[in-house]
Amino acid sequence: MFISYNTSTKAIIWIDDREWACRKRAKGLTTPDYWTWLDSVTKDGVPDYSGETNYSIVKTELDVDKFNRSGYITSNIDGIYFHLKWDTSKKEVVEDDDSKTAWEVAEQWVKIRAERDRLLAETDWMMLSDTGTVSTAWKNYRKALREIPSSQDSAKVFSDIDWPDKPSS
């Protein structure tokens, strides 16, 4: 198994059984662009990787299933996320709790913002009414919803959010 990792943060970029796939991902290239780049750094059939300083690729034994089961490799509709680091002293992949926690909080905030947006959308019709009069209570409710990301930015999970009460009229 090969891994590519960021040389400054040691964060795992990609894990694959093919070295070139790790390099491609670390460089942020599409497959056709990778092969074009590889041709540009190859002389007499030997690639020259000397210009690569922001990532490294190593071959290592790795129990990918273990990290999948523990949640340190996660995936959603946007892609795969590795909450792992390369320990240069031990020469092994280790769990990155800070990265995993940050990702989990970010995922919770995706849900929080979606709910906030849904609640705002429920009241959009009031802002477009023919009368042009919207009570202060409804204006304050909508303002409180819009301010949730800044006023409750310390929340870590959806259940930590103190949702404003809808006005009765």
Check residue 108 and give its pLDDT.
95
Per-domain boundaries in the chain: 2-95, 102-160
108: its two tokens: 């919770």
Check residue 134 and give its pLDDT.
79
Check residue 143 and give its pLDDT.
95
Check residue 76 and give its pLDDT.
85
Model confidence, pTM: 0.72
Residues 77-93 have pLDDT tens digits of 888 999 999 999 999 99
Which stretches of the chain score pLDDT less than 50? none
Q: Are strands 42-43 and 46-47 parallel, antiparallel or unpaired?
A: antiparallel
- CA–CA dist 87, 22 (Å, integer): 17
Check residue 126 and give its pLDDT.
78
105: its two tokens: 């909080």
